[in-house]
């Protein structure tokens, strides 16, 4: 568990592959945890998700200064393959032009896909054009709506609408179950020889061996690993859509811009209080909650009080600082 009272330091430089080969574990690193504008202790919003299946990262939002924060981590810009933008407010997107051009100047060739609400294409293309900038790598821009925005053999990403003054989305990242390995001991004990039929056995299919025996593949497959579900919300005041997106999540990241006593002010601007974030986690049946996007009015000394407000409703709450690292 991250200690919110400790002095936050950037992790030691280690190979990214050392981070992503830990069992079947995703890692979530907060690059910016402040709301609206940067402060001495917090940069504006950006979160990196490190994936275990391959040495790449995904970014969720890219506020001003995100590339500076990345320099203090083990994350490599050339290995960021996807960026998911929640909405077009400046504290969530003003770091994009700088990050994209720096990635090009570093001669990164890996493709990058950018997802975001309608208008994200115009923002990126206009800022690059007016500044005489360009990208040297393949880049695809996908303007999203509610529903599945990405799906492959490992992950499904679903976008859901948030309550905010501008079009805004949260993302549900579903890690698909990892199939179990072949039970080598049982295969050997039953005299099943090695061969191309191992592929069919691992898929649970029936296989006829050379000696005429018919075997059931599932009898020789060890239990698989259940995938995790993570939800990362954009800015939002409470609403039913958030409950749907976060239902049963292993980990939920939710903004908590203001304390409970300032709930009305938070809601009037499309934000949530500490207690409201915790209530969403409780009602959604989430297992863990991380609060972020804290107003610049709060200093480190305020964190225990803000966290305590959440824990009165949802005990399994943690508070993110810049560079906090969580495993899932």
- Cα atoms found within 13 Å of the Cα of residue 150, Cβ hemisphere only: 22
Residues 189 and 44 in one domain: no
**pLDDT tens digit string along 252-305?**
999 999 999 999 999 999 999 999 999 999 999 999 999 999 999 999 999 999
Specify if 313 maps to a domain. yes
| Structural domain for 201, as ranges | 184-220
Residues 39 and 75 in one domain: yes
What number is the average pLDDT over the span 183-203? 86
Residues 73 and 150 in one domain: yes
Specify if 111 maps to a domain. yes
Sign of CA dihedral 202, 18, 85, 225: positive
Stronger pLDDT, 16 or 160, i.e. the higher one = 160
Residues 34 and 135 in one domain: yes
Q: Give, in degrees to the nearest 5, the angle at Cα 209 between 204 and 212.
A: 125
Pair of tokens at residue 18: 């050392």
pLDDT score recorded for residue 7 = 31
What number is the average pLDDT over the span 37-48? 96
Residues 159 and 103 in one domain: yes
Residues 23 and 140 in one domain: yes
Domain tally for the chain?
Answer: 2
What number is the average pLDDT over the span 131-135? 94
Specify if 30 maps to a domain. yes
Collapsing DSSP states into helix, strand and coil, what is residue 168? coil
Q: Which of 91, 152, 183, 210 is catalytic?
A: 91
- The whole-angstrom separation of Cα 26 and Cα 189 is 36
**pLDDT tens digit string along 78-88?**
999 999 999 99
Residues 100 and 144 in one domain: yes
CATH label of the domain that carries residue 128: 3.60.15.10
**Where residue 11 falls among pLDDT bands split at 50, 70, 90?**
very low
Beta bridge pairs of residue 148: 158
Length of the chain, in residues: 328
Residues 189 and 152 in one domain: no
Specify if 200 maps to a domain. yes
What residues form the annotated binding site for Zn(2+)?
87, 89, 91-92, 164, 235, 293
Specify if 65 maps to a domain. yes
Residue 328 pLDDT > 60, yes or no?
yes
| Maximum CA extent, the chain | 75
What number is the average pLDDT over the span 203-212? 87
Kindly report the pTM of this predicted structure: 0.85
Q: Which helix (H) or strand (E) holds 69?
A: helix 66-70
**Where residue 250 falls among pLDDT bands split at 50, 70, 90?**
very high
pLDDT score recorded for residue 24 = 60
pLDDT score recorded for residue 183 = 84
Residue 15 pLDDT > 70, yes or no?
no
Pair of tokens at residue 145: 């709506």
- The whole-angstrom separation of Cα 61 and Cα 234 is 9
Residue 161 pLDDT > 90, yes or no?
yes
pLDDT score recorded for residue 304 = 97
Residues 188 and 44 in one domain: no
- The whole-angstrom separation of Cα 311 and Cα 112 is 38
Specify if 192 maps to a domain. yes
Q: Which helix (H) or strand (E) holds 173?
A: strand 169-175
- The whole-angstrom separation of Cα 133 and Cα 299 is 37
Residues 167 and 39 in one domain: yes
H-type alpha helices, 152-226: 184-189, 197-202
Residues 26 and 116 in one domain: yes
Domain boundary (167, 199, 220) is at: 220
Residues 139 and 197 in one domain: no
Q: Is 91 known to be catalytic?
A: yes
- Answer whether 63's CB lies under 8 Å from 47's CB: no
**Ranges 1-10, 57-66, 180-189: which has the least confidence:** 1-10
Q: What is the mean pLDDT of the chain?
A: 90
**Where residue 52 falls among pLDDT bands split at 50, 70, 90?**
confident
User: Strands (DSSP E) along 185-305, which ranges?
Assistant: 206-208, 214-216, 229-232, 251-255, 289-292, 294-295
Residue 145 pLDDT > 80, yes or no?
yes
Specify if 84 maps to a domain. yes
Specify if 227 maps to a domain. no
pLDDT score recorded for residue 235 = 96
User: Which residue, among 312, 310, 67, has the nearest Cα to 320 in the 3D structure?
Assistant: 310
φ/ψ of 283, rounded to 5, equals -70, -35
H-type alpha helices, 171-229: 184-189, 197-202
Residue 324 pLDDT > 60, yes or no?
yes
**Where residue 320 falls among pLDDT bands split at 50, 70, 90?**
very high
């Amino acid at each position: 568990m991250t200690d919110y009272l400790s002095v936050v330091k950037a992790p030691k430089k280690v190979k990214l592959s050392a981070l992503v080969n830990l069992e079947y574990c995703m890692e979530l690193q907060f690059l910016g945890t402040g709301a609206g504008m940067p402060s001495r202790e917090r940069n504006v919003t950006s979160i990196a998700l490190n994936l275990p299946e391959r040495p790449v990262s995904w970014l969720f939002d890219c506020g001003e200064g995100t590339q500076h924060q990345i320099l203090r981590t083990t994350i490599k810009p050339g290995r960021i393959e996807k960026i998911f933008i929640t909405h077009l407010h400046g504290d969530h997107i003003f770091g994009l032009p700088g990050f994209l051009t720096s990635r090009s100047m570093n001669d990164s060739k890996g493709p990058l896909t950018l997802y975001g609400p309608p208008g994200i294409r115009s923002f990126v293309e206009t800022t690059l054009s007016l500044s005489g900038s360009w990208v040297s790598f393949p880049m695809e821009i996908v303007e999203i709506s509610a529903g599945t925005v990405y799906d492959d053999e490992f992950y499904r990403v679903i976008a859901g609408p948030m309550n905010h003054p501008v079009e805004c989305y949260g993302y549900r990242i579903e890690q698909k179950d990892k199939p179990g390995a072949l039970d080598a001991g049982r295969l050997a004990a039953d005299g099943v020889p090695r061969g191309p039929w191992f592929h069919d056995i691992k898929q649970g299919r029936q296989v006829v061996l050379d000696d005429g025996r018919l075997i059931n593949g599932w009898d020789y497959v060890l239990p698989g690993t259940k995938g995790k579900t993570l939800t990362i919300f954009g800015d939002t005041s409470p609403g039913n859509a958030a409950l749907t997106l976060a239902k049963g999540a292993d980990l939920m990241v939710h903004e908590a811009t203001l304390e409970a006593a300032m709930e009305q002010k938070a809601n009037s601007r499309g934000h949530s209080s500490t207690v409201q974030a915790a209530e969403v986690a409780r009602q959604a049946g989430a297992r863990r909650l991380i609060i972020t996007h804290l107003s610049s009015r709060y200093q480190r000394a305020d964190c225990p009080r803000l966290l305590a407000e959440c824990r009165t409703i949802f005990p399994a709450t943690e508070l993110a600082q810049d560079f906090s690292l969580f495993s899932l």
